Chains A and B, each alone.
Chain A
Amino acid sequence: MTKEYELNIGPNHPGIPGNFSLHLELEGDTIVKANGDSGYLHRAFGKLMEHRLYLQNVALIPRICVIEPDINEAVYAMAIEELMGVKIPERAKYIRTIILEAARVNAYLFGLGIFAAATLGLYTLMQWAVGDRDYMIDLFASLTGARIYHMFIWPGGVRRDLPPKFEEDILDWVKFIKDKLPDYDAVFFKNSMFLHRTKGLATITKEEALSMGVTGPNLKATGVAQDVRKDEPYAAYPYLDFEIPTMTEGDAWARTIIRRLELELSLNLIEQAVKKMPKGPVWTKMPNPFKWYVPRGDAYARVESSGGEYGFYFVSDGGAKPYRVYVRGASMPHMYPLAEKLLIGQKLSDAPQILGSLNICPPEIDR
């Protein structure tokens, strides 16, 4: 006779991808009920934004998520540009694309590294990926002046033009990562241990995924080629040639392999963008920050982040500060209800892999 019991994992636990916790009910080591318990990272960004001038928010918003901060800057800028009817210069679009794709690569390197190390015990990939990511962080520092929180994309374009030699440097880095990919594959993506632990685990169907609002790699792994970069192209994506990778398995393995393919796609996109980038201005003049009124109205701006669709719903009452901002974090539907549902019937020892394969980013849930 098996005994039923309750177990809390997290908020600080190696098997949990970040600061949130899970309240599990188990029968033996089978999960019968899972309740997510987030809120440890709630900082009320939407509310904080209401109290800051439009320019001041540029310094606040990247902090929503440390893994991929640049998406916040981009959606914030896009929402304001839409409300104000501002067109940004072509070169700024390309610079934004390069930043966003480099940030995506960084997010994947970091995320996959953590996934491999913290949930499967394959620490080598993490050591490599985090080290390789740091070279891009150095490039970000030379471009923007800061390593992680760049505060570089602002409404109207970007804050500065590229520094000298930046194009060469980033192409060198892309080549460097591309050369490393076979090594990554050898230690992780083609490692039997990874395959054994993830194949057929926590499968989602296309219908389930669509009904729950799942986006990004988690949705692409079920066979739906949905991607904001294609569906509602922003920045310089309309000018770039690329296909969205999809798979049909819908399990933890497919979700991880999709990330591996996306990583390669992003590297290709950076190469394309650097080569196609035109010369010219990088910023459309914006009003004096102390008298920067955004016309009354609302706008929803979205980008494809490493986790999926990431957006800001933005309401302006015509004043000098946002009236209301709602942040759509891609991880929100991946946790509630998706992860809670997927965990039921699974073994406790598989819970970290399931959560890790969904690439849940708790700061996006809490905001």
Chain B
Amino acid sequence: MEKQTKNGSDLKEKVKEFEHGSLISPLSSAKYLFKKPHTLQYPKETKPIPERYRGFHINDLDKCIGCGNCMSICPCEAITMVDVKAFYLVSSKEGTTDTRPQVDYGRCSYCGLCVDICPTGSLKLSKDLIYSSTDADTFVWVPAVEQGREIGFIQSDELTPLVLDKLEMSELEPDVRKKTFEELILGFSKEEAQAEAARCLGCGICMQGCPAHMKNPEYIQAIFDKDFNLSVKYMLEDNALPGICGRICTHKCQDDCVYNYRGDAVQIMWLKRFATDAIKDYSASDPVRLPQTGRKVAIIGAGPSGLSAAYYLSLMGHSATIFEKNKIAGGGLGLGIPMYRLPVYEIDKEVEHIKSLGVDIKLGVEVGKDITFTDIMKNFDAVYIGVGLSYGRAINLKGEDHPDVIQAIDFLRQVKVEGRRDIARKVVVIGGGNVAMDVVRTVKRLQEVRYDDGNTVAQMASLEDWDILPASKEEVEGALAEGVIFNPAWGPKEVRFNESGKIVGLEIKKVKSVFDENGRFNPTFFEDQIKTLEADYVVEAVGQMTNLGFIPEDIAKDLKYTPRRRIFIDDYGETSLVGIFAGGDLVETSLGNAISAIANGHRAAIGIDFYLKGK
């Protein structure tokens, strides 16, 4: 209070000073005649330009990927993405576009939000804001790195509108999961999914990487908006098996995510899994249902491509019948992928959804044995072949015909479908791909369940060294955490037996190189560097092959193949035989994963629809 009075009285004093004017005092300004002026003699004298100055843009065109986030955030709509191929050689690598930002400086407000949001950090502002021309149209250009243009405002890693860090997915601890076939990824909670979806910028660069070109930004937005039915609807537009892909997809989309340049990719796959798990029944999410046409299509093989073709054909109103030689649907998904990655109920859920549209799946019916191909040709308007690579490929290893040497695909089927639970104590898996990972991690689990003394070994021998190991990073890390021993860059030589004919080990030799100078697979070895891995069981996981023997000779002779011995198809999946379509792993566009099989199944369904309409 005292202080206030004091201030109050100070104030009164102060005001009093102003109460009386003077006519003389203004003349004191004359002293300024002798002072230095404020102004500078530009351009001879210039002011230093501050470090953070926000002038014209500088864009490193090689670093820029053309994602267009700068355009989306621009409050002035000054930025348009233009194709620069005509004057600039852009790298056409996946996850980039040929466009680069063009700025209309008549609209730009120099706010620098484009710089803050730029995922690659290619965009900066310069210290330069001087431009003159008699032609106003020249005030629009594609910024690049220009000589003499100094860098001003740049982005900051701490003060960035991007949410750079991903939400860690919770999974079973290695010690727990190696003893069980329970699904090891626990999935997002609703809040976690929301938070992860909130990171997506919606630029859609990820769609390029996806073989099915799924509408990732849209379904992530729908998850963010808590509209899971809509989210699944967006998924079903391009992918008949979204829940399965949400678990086992190779997620090329995430490799292309713009967040990779400065942080962690959005976990698109887990988001997909979350949304499909949130919807018990997809029936409200089917994108379209066209009236019945009465046309019948036979589909051979109930793998991902066959199911995908059947789904889209029935949406288009055709009736689809699937012939599957095994007792379960899903093909490689149902037979091969271990339960800790893809539980059976998830396959059942999506197969049931496809069945609910009227697709007839005839299980245990092998074409060529239970029904002839000619009969199918007679009774159906079109045929789709999606039998995949359902036979293991042998490597002509010495001793491979021993019963304790088994093909990966047979082993996985025995465990998953036939309930096999016995396993040897020392197992070696040959191969370095994702199937080999599935095998070795399955072996690990079987051993942990069966032997509780810990006296077991599960190891791998792959031709490829760490840097070129084909298996995904997550799989390798997961296997390492579970205690799998890796022998990268070692090729199999022969299987060793003891006197009683029992396997005692696998002799392996050091790899010199895997590919020749033309980049073709042609491994060479150091024949003198040899070691023996102790083993009493060997699994070969080096690839699969197909058997098209069910097609009669007179038809098969007209079937064309590509140089890599895959069935030749046109853009819409039709083979060289009229009315016979093919897809999945049989064709060249397949990358050997579920999503590309789903994609070319969808493609073929469109082709079949065209074909039937023209028939």
Which residue numbers of A lie inside 8 Å of B, CB to CB? Answer: 52-53, 55-60, 122, 124, 128, 131-132, 134, 138, 141-146, 149, 151, 159-161, 163, 183, 185-196, 243, 245-247, 257, 260-261, 281-283, 285-291
Contacts and interface: CB of A to CB of B under 8 A. Distances in A.
16 contacts: A55-B161, A56-B113, A58-B75, A122-B26, A132-B38, A142-B50, A149-B109, A186-B28, A187-B25, A187-B28, A193-B21, A285-B163, A286-B161, A288-B201, A290-B72, A291-B199
Contacts of A260: 18
A57 B109 CA distance: 12
Contacts of B197: 291
B4 interface: yes
Interface residues of B, number: 53
Given A145-B153, A282-B159, A283-B159, A288 B199 contact: yes
Contacts of A60: 75
Contacts of B22: 186, 190-192
A56 B77 CA distance: 10
A290 B110 CA distance: 20
B130 interface: no
Given A163-B52, A186-B26, A286-B161, A145 B198 contact: no
A288 B162 contact: yes
Contacts of B136: none
B7 A243 contact: yes
Contacts of B152: 145
B109 A145 contact: no
B11 interface: yes
Contacts of A247: 15
B351 to A, nearest CB: 34
Contact of B113 (A58, A283, A288): A58
Contacts of B411: none
B14 interface: yes
Contacts of B162: 288
Sort A-B residue pairs by CB-CB distance and give the 4 closest, nearest first: A192-B21, A59-B111, A56-B75, A142-B50
A163 B50 contact: yes
A131 B73 CA distance: 36
A143 B52 CA distance: 7
Contact of A287 (B15, B25, B110, B198): B198
A291 B198 contact: yes
A293 to B, nearest CB: 8
B47 interface: yes
A131 to B, nearest CB: 4
Given A56-B73, A160-B156, A288-B163, A124 B224 contact: no
Interface in B53-77: 53-54, 72-76
B552 interface: no
Given A145-B53, A145-B153, A291-B198, A194 B113 contact: no
A191 B20 CA distance: 8
Contact of B110 (A55, A146, A193): A146
B23 A192 contact: yes
A190 B18 contact: yes
Mostly, the A contact residues are helix
A248 to B, nearest CB: 10
A55 B198 CA distance: 15
A187 B18 contact: no
B109 A59 contact: yes
Contact of B111 (A58, A134, A187, A282): A58
B75 A261 contact: no
Contact of A191 (B26, B54, B198): B26
A243 B25 contact: no
B121 interface: no
A188 B29 CA distance: 10
Given A195-B21, A290-B200, 4 more contacts: A128-B32, A146-B54, A282-B159, A287-B163
A189 B20 CA distance: 10
B575 to A, nearest CB: 44
B25 A190 contact: yes
Mostly, the B contact residues are loop
B117 interface: yes
Nearest to B54: A145
A289 B26 contact: no
B159 A159 contact: yes
B75 A142 contact: no
A225 to B, nearest CB: 10
B202 interface: yes
A288 B161 contact: yes
B201 A290 contact: yes
Contacts of B333: none
Contacts of A187: 25-26, 28-29
B8 interface: yes
B352 interface: no
A124 to B, nearest CB: 5
Interface in B565-606: none
Interface in B84-136: 109-113, 116-117, 125
Nearest to B156: A160
A243 B12 CA distance: 13
A338 B109 CA distance: 36
A55 to B, nearest CB: 6
A160 B11 contact: no
Contacts of A138: 47, 50
B156 A57 contact: no
A145 B28 contact: no
B17 interface: yes
A150 to B, nearest CB: 10
Nearest to A243: B7
Contacts of B281: none
Nearest to B202: A290
Nearest to B51: A163
A187 B52 CA distance: 37
A261 B109 CA distance: 35
A288 B50 CA distance: 29
Nearest to A132: B38
B199 A257 contact: no
A247 B16 CA distance: 11
Contacts of B7: 243
A55 B28 contact: no
Contacts of B73: 53, 55-56, 289-290
Interface string B161-203: 1110000000000000000000000000000000001111110
A281 B159 CA distance: 10
A124 B29 CA distance: 8
Contacts of B29: 124, 183, 186-187
Interface string B1-41: 00010011001001101101111011011001000001000
Contacts of B202: 290-291
Contacts of B38: 131-132, 134
A37 to B, nearest CB: 30
A185 B153 CA distance: 40
A57 B116 CA distance: 15
Contacts of B224: 291
Interface in B353-394: none
B214 to A, nearest CB: 19
Contacts of A246: 11
Given A149-B109, A160-B52, A288-B201, A124 B11 contact: no
B11 A245 contact: yes
Nearest to B224: A291
Given A134-B38, A261-B11, A288-B162, A142 B52 contact: yes
Given A57-B75, A144-B52, A160-B159, A191 B25 contact: yes
Contacts of A124: 26, 29
B50 A145 contact: yes
A131 B109 CA distance: 25
A146 B54 CA distance: 6
A183 B30 CA distance: 11
